[in-house]
Amino acid sequence: MNESKFAELDREQLQELNELEEKLGVTLIAYDTATTGNSSSSQQYN
């Protein structure tokens, strides 16, 4: 089983996360995908 690690965010990233939480009305958690071994979750689709 892979261990998940919380991402280390800079101030700008944390502010963006907080704004999204308020907009969506949910709590968001940022994981470091480099430690989870699951790169598919970090892919972006157009």
Q: Quote the mean pLDDT of the chain.
A: 81
Q: How confident is the model at residue 9 (pLDDT cuts 50, 70, 90)?
A: very high
Q: Which residue has the higher pLDDT, 13 or 43?
A: 13
d(CA 46, CA 36): 24
Q: How confident is the model at residue 4 (pLDDT cuts 50, 70, 90)?
A: confident
Q: Among 11, 46, 10, 5, which Cα is nearest to 29's?
A: 5
pTM of the model: 0.61
